[in-house]
Amino acid sequence: MGSTVSDYWTLFSENVLAVALLLLTAILAALLVFSLLGYRRLNRRVQGLNLEMGSASRSLRNADRDLRALFDQSAIAVMLLDRTSKSVLYANETAMMAFGVKTEEQLTTEVMQKPDAWSSSPFSLLDFEDIIYKTDRSGLQKFEWYFEARGRRPVWLDSSLSIISYKGGQALMFTGVNITDRKHAEKADHYRHKAMISMANDNGLHVTLDHLSAMAETRMANARCGVMVHNVEAARLRWVGGRLLPEAFRESLDGLPVAFGAASSGTAVYIRGRVVTRDIYSDDRWEGYREEAESAGLRACWSEPIIGSGGELLGTFDVYHDEPWTPGDDDIDALTDPIAIASLAIERHQAKVQLEQMVLSEQMVRRISTDLLTLDPDKTDTGLTRTCRTLGEFYRADRVFLCQLDDVSRQLWISHDWAGEGFGSLRQEAVRKHPVIPNSLNKVFDGRPTVVLRDESEIPPQLEFLQELLELGQKQSVLLAVVHRGDRVSGILGIQMTAVVNPWTPQRAQTAELMANLFGSALDRSQLLNSLTYQAVHDQLTGLYNRHKIESFMDQEVARCTRYGSTFSLIIFDLDHFKSINDRFGHNEGDAVLSGVSSLVRNGLRESEIAGRWGGEEFLIILPETSLDLAVPVAERLKGSIESHRFPIPERVTVSVGVSAFRPGDTPHELIQRADAALYNAKESGRNCVKSTF
């Protein structure tokens, strides 16, 4: 039994083991089959993925190639940078042109890794790296960027910086739209606006022209501009605008003559046209200024004349370059606007200066007219000389002179003058008078108020005496203005000046004409006042002092003798039987007798002695510092000269004379009373005699 169970168990164990082995084998076979099937599926999946990856890779490569081709053809500057090293992975042609390089390697080594290649802050390499840092932290950054590549026109870019995937990694993409023209236009508008404000505020011509020079410089790459203003009187150009050129060079050209061969600017004004000097070193027009240009580092100059609204030459707008250069159509267009505004600014400035000169001229004329027309008659000569000096200083003249025409002798002489430094007085050289026919002076002026003589040969025969006196040189001229007194020519006002060109503008000539009229008015007034003064103190018939003036002299003599204890004598006489002369021969003959007596009196007295008509046929003579003993012989001589003189009437004229002398304490009335008493005594004694009383 036990053996059966044991066998049965053994048999059972062997069967179970066999079954287990079979089952395990089946399971393993099944797993193997399943594994094989899974492997095949996985292999197919891998192959599919490989196909997909290859396709994606090809697509990516194609997209990258297409993107590069797109960037290369784009007008937008595109540059890809490594996020770590900041080296350039890619840059299109536009980007390399903007940064002034030809290859990506140069862009890396000569720009991205070279701080000196960048502009100053806020457009330095450090500022650009700061934008890269912000992009890494915050993503897309938009900004404007300015880059000044060496040897190229500065570039403005409207830029952005972002992160993109590139070749399985990430890169920084820089894009920039060229806005240089817009920025330059904005800058030019900025300077135009400043120029207009400068004109409106009267900030000075140089400020306005500085802004216009900067305006032109923004429109032309590497240009340095300046403006020279034409000084018509001196025929020279004065440097006014433009400060980028060296100061030493500006000073060397300041005062450039207007002449052919005087650099580009002087030649342009001389020929009234454009002058382009491509190379200063080989242009003969720059021969006298080549060293100055070389020191300033200048090689080319384009001078464009500035012409005013009336066709007058106002100056030149000059464009300089450091290398040989010729302007193109774009440059000419760029300069059109600045030249137009410069013309307006210069004309406005000149109009303002002219207005100021007119105001100064008006003030001078008003001051001189007030001075001349309020002068005392005895100070007229001093006032006219002072006026000549004022005119000379106002005109900056060499000399000013006044010639007067004597009405009686018909002679012309230099009565007043003023001479500048280095010029002698004409009055000292020409003390004599020169005969001239008044009508011939009218021919000199030919109906005009002024004439200008520029050479000795132009001096007319009527004024030949001026040839030697004026000695007109090559650059000298003289303006002559006719002086009228009423409706007749009475003289000439002359103003001599030294200038390269004609300094006699219409305004200056009109001022000289007005001054000549003032001289004539002053002379006329002086003559009138002298005449009125003479008439006020002189007797109209005899020309001797009248009674009022004689009384004034009497009061003065009495006061003087009372103060100093001296003496004087008085002679009173009248014509014997003068009423009979008037009755028999008429009043005209009587007046002739009185005039003849007064002439004898004037001729018989010393300069210090004073004679006057006391009334009717009565005369009075004051003898200063003369005692009675000395006065009586004077009276006797006077009586004798009248008695022996032949008058127009057919009979002898005699006088009765009374003489008295001043006594201390006398009044004029007392002295005259004693002289009258002596005269009465002479008449009582038979007339035609001299009587005296102390």
Tokens standing for 71?
Answer: 């960037």
Per the DSSP assignment, residues forming a β-bridge with 655 are: 575
Question: What gap in Å lies between CA 177 and CA 167, rounded to an integer?
Answer: 25
Same domain for 466 and 549, yes or no, is no
Host H or E run for residue 568: strand 568-575
Residue 548 in this model has a pLDDT that exceeds 60: yes
Question: What gap in Å lies between CA 640 and CA 655, rounded to an integer?
Answer: 9
Compute the average pLDDT of residues 201-222.
91
Host H or E run for residue 174: strand 169-178
Whether 654 is covered by a domain: the verdict is yes
User: Of 460, 489, 522, which marks where a domain is finished?
Assistant: 522
Least confident of 5-19, 486-500, 573-587: 5-19
Could you confirm whether 625 is annotated as catalytic? no
Same domain for 645 and 591, yes or no, is yes
- pLDDT at position 45 is 74
Whether 486 is covered by a domain: the verdict is yes
Residue 72 in this model has a pLDDT that exceeds 60: no
Host H or E run for residue 604: helix 587-604
Between 646 and 34, whose confidence is greater? 646
Same domain for 158 and 220, yes or no, is no
Whether 365 is covered by a domain: the verdict is no
Same domain for 42 and 133, yes or no, is no
Same domain for 453 and 308, yes or no, is no
pLDDT digits (tens, 9 = 90+) for 468-500: 778 777 778 889 998 888 778 888 899 998 876
Same domain for 381 and 518, yes or no, is yes
Closest CA to 490 of 481, 498, 499, 478: 481
Whether 427 is covered by a domain: the verdict is yes
CATH number at residue 143: 3.30.450.20
CATH number at residue 277: 3.30.450.40
Whether 360 is covered by a domain: the verdict is no
Active-site position among 93, 217, 617, 684:
617
Residue 69 in this model has a pLDDT that exceeds 60: no
For residue 142, count other CB atoms closer than 10 A to its CB. Answer: 11
Residue 691 in this model has a pLDDT that exceeds 90: yes
Same domain for 673 and 575, yes or no, is yes
pLDDT digits (tens, 9 = 90+) for 266-314: 999 999 999 999 999 999 999 999 999 999 999 999 999 999 988 999 9
Whether 528 is covered by a domain: the verdict is no
Same domain for 215 and 281, yes or no, is yes
Same domain for 570 and 638, yes or no, is yes
Same domain for 122 and 210, yes or no, is no
Same domain for 147 and 283, yes or no, is no
Whether 531 is covered by a domain: the verdict is no
The terminus-to-terminus CA distance of the chain in angstroms comes to 224
What domain count does the chain have?
5
CATH number at residue 605: 3.30.70.270
Whether 532 is covered by a domain: the verdict is no
User: Of 152, 178, 204, which marks where a domain is finished?
Assistant: 178
Residue 568 in this model has a pLDDT that exceeds 90: yes
CB of 294 closer than 8 Å to CB of 322: no
- pLDDT at position 41 is 76
How many angstroms separate the Cα of 521 from the Cα of each of 33, 112, 272? 144, 86, 46
Give the range of the structural domain holding residue 37, as residue numbers without chain letter: 1-65
Same domain for 339 and 383, yes or no, is no
User: Of 307, 323, 354, which marks where a domain is finished?
Assistant: 354
